[in-house]
Amino acid sequence: MRPRLSLLAALGILAIGAGCTTDGSRQNSQLRVRTDFPGGSAQVEQLSEESKTIQLTPTLHPGRGWDAWWYFKLEGVKPGETITLDVGKGIWATPDQAMFSYDNVTWQHTSPGKRQKDRIVYQHTVEKTPVWFAWGPPFVLSDAERLIDNICARSPYATRFVLAKSKDGHTIPALKLYDPSVPASEKLGIWVEARQHAWESGSSWVGKGFIEWVISDDPQAKALRQMADIYFVPIMDVDNVQRGAGGKNATPHDQNRDWSDSPHYPEVAAAQEHIRELNRIGRFDLFVDLHNPAPNDKRPFYFVTVAEYLSAQGAKNLKDFFLCSKEAINGPLPLLDKARESGPEYDKAWDKISKNWVTKHTAGHVVAITLETSWNTPQSTQEGYQTVGRQLGEAIAKYFTEPRR
C-alpha cells in the first residue's frame, strides 16, 4: 500500500478509510483531503473516519518559505457531520479561527479553536457540501486575473499589463489606471502592490478593496484618479501562491529582502524598473507594499523607513500621510497610533526591503510605506480586509487632495 499512498499524496489527494480501494461505490463516503488545485496545501498526518478528525499541517515545501499556509477541499463529508481539524506547525499556521467555504468563493470564520501547545483544534459542523477549509481567505492567480478583468470592464481608464514572467513561468498580471483627460505632465504616480509573502493572502484582499474603491463613484476616488496614474499588482510572489507555499524567508532569500541592484525575483526587478522610470520622469510620489503581520498584531500598522533615509520634505510628507491614514483607517480594524521602523535593528537585510529601497532610489518627497493588516482577529475576513483597502484609498486621496496641515 505504501507506494499507492505516496502516489496519492504526491497528487495532492489523501484518503484513509474503509473505501481506500478502487471500489467506486464507497468513494463518496470516505473522507478525502484534496489539495490538487492552485494554492492547495495540507499534509495529512492522521485521519479518522469514525471521529471525522483530520490532523494536518501545511504541506512542506523546503526552501519555499515558512510552513504557514494551508487550504484544502474536504470530500466524503455529509451535511450535519461535525469535522474536527487538528492543525500543527505553530502560531503562524494556526489562526484563532480557521475559514471555511461552501463555494470556494465566499469564506467565513469557524468558531475559535482550542490551542494545545503548538497546535490548534477547530470544530465545524458542515451545513452543505462541497466544503473547503483554509488558514485565511485564499486569493490565487485566477482571482488576480478575474479582479483585473473586472476592473478593466468597469473602468475606461484601466489597462492590464504584464509585470513580469516569474521564475516558474507564470505571467504576473498588473493594472494601470490612467485618465487621459489630464495632461501627463501634471500627473502624480502611485504604486500599490500586495503579496510579496505568499501566505499573507489577506494583503491581496486589502489590495482588492483599494482598487475597487479607486474606480468607484466616490468623489474622492474620482479626484484621485484625475490627479494620479495608479499602478496595482495584486500578487507579487505568484509562484509560491500557486504552489501553496508560505514564501516568507524562502531561499535564496525572502522576496521582501530582494530589493537590491541585482534582484533574484523577476517581479521585483520589473517593479524596480517601473518605479525608477516613473521617478526619472518626475512622476512618482507614493509606494505602498501590502502585508499581513505577526499573529499577535491585532491592529493594522505601518512599517516606515529609517529617519536617516528621509529628506526634510520626505519626513513631513510621511507624517502627513500617517495623519491622513489615522483618520481614514478607523475601524473595524483601526490603524495603530504609532508606526514601526524597519531599520538595522529589525532585520540585517533591512536595506533590501521594498520601501527602504524605494525611499533611497526616488525623489526626496516620495512616501514609501508598508501596510501590515492584522490577520488573526474576527474582523480579518474578506469584508474586513477590503474595508481596510477602501480606507487606504481614502487616506491616499486625503493626502493628495486636501490642504496640507
The interface region with Zn ion, picked from 20-28, 79-87, 172-180, 190-198 by CB under 5 A, is: 190-198
- Residue from 370, 388, 293 nearest 332 by CA: 388
Nearest distance, CB of residue 267 and Zn ion, angstroms:
15
Nearest distance, CB of residue 379 and Zn ion, angstroms:
19
Tell me the three cell numbers of residue 353: 526591503
Binding-residue total with Zn ion (CB under 5 A):
3
Nearest distance, CB of residue 207 and Zn ion, angstroms:
13
The interface region with Zn ion, picked from 66-74, 286-294, 301-309, 323-331 by CB under 5 A, is: 286-294
Nearest distance, CB of residue 201 and Zn ion, angstroms:
11
Q: Which of 291, 352, 390, 398 binds Zn ion (CB under 5 A)?
A: 291
- Residue from 88, 242, 254 nearest 168 by CA: 242
Nearest distance, CB of residue 370 and Zn ion, angstroms:
8
The residue among 200 and 285 lying less far from Zn ion, judged by its C-beta, is 200
The residue among 237 and 351 lying less far from Zn ion, judged by its C-beta, is 237
The residue among 132 and 375 lying less far from Zn ion, judged by its C-beta, is 375
The residue among 67 and 200 lying less far from Zn ion, judged by its C-beta, is 200
What whole-number distance in Å separates Cα of residue 4 and Cα of residue 2? 5
Amino acid present at 112: P
The residue among 200 and 267 lying less far from Zn ion, judged by its C-beta, is 200
- Residue from 290, 275, 296, 316 nearest 385 by CA: 290
The interface region with Zn ion, picked from 73-81, 99-107, 180-188, 194-202 by CB under 5 A, is: 194-202
CB 292 within 8 Å of CB 200: yes
Sequence-separated (6 or more) residues with CB below 8 Å from residue 15:
8, 30, 31, 32, 33, 47, 75, 76
Query: Which residues 6-25 are close enough to bind Zn ion by CB under 5 A?
Result: none
The interface region with Zn ion, picked from 83-91, 135-143, 289-297, 347-355 by CB under 5 A, is: 289-297
Nearest distance, CB of residue 166 and Zn ion, angstroms:
18
Q: What share of the chain is helix, strand, coil (3-state, %, to 5)?
A: 30, 25, 45
Dihedral sign (CA 138, 61, 343, 189): negative
CB 378 within 8 Å of CB 325: no
Tell me the three cell numbers of residue 122: 477547530
Nearest distance, CB of residue 204 and Zn ion, angstroms:
12
The interface region with Zn ion, picked from 62-70, 141-149, 199-207, 357-365 by CB under 5 A, is: 199-207
What whole-number distance in Å separates Cα of residue 210 and Cα of residue 208? 5
Tell me the three cell numbers of residue 112: 475559535
The residue among 61 and 197 lying less far from Zn ion, judged by its C-beta, is 197
Write down the H helix ranges in 329-401.
354-361, 382-401
The phi, psi pair for 400, rounded to 5°, reads -90, -25
Residue 197 interacts with Zn ion (CB under 5 A)?
A: yes
Query: Which residues 200-219 are close enough to bind Zn ion by CB under 5 A?
Result: 200
Nearest distance, CB of residue 197 and Zn ion, angstroms:
4
Which H or E element spans position 149? helix 141-154
Query: Which residues 149-178 are close enough to bind Zn ion by CB under 5 A?
Result: none
Residue 352 interacts with Zn ion (CB under 5 A)?
A: no
403: cis peptide before it, omega within 30°?
Answer: no
- Residue from 71, 137, 111, 103 nearest 389 by CA: 137
What whole-number distance in Å separates Cα of residue 301 and Cα of residue 252? 28
Beta bridge partners of 13: 34
The interface region with Zn ion, picked from 82-90, 166-174, 196-204, 381-389 by CB under 5 A, is: 196-204
The interface region with Zn ion, picked from 176-184, 191-199, 230-238, 295-303 by CB under 5 A, is: 191-199
| Binding characters for Zn ion, 242-281, by CB under 5 A (x = yes) | ----------------------------------------
Query: Which residues 312-351 are close enough to bind Zn ion by CB under 5 A?
Result: none
Nearest distance, CB of residue 100 and Zn ion, angstroms:
24
Nearest distance, CB of residue 203 and Zn ion, angstroms:
7
Nearest distance, CB of residue 84 and Zn ion, angstroms:
30
Q: DSSP assignment of 113-136, as one string?
A: PEEETTEEEEEEE--SSSEEEESS
Binding footprint of Zn ion on the chain (CB under 5 A): 197, 200, 291
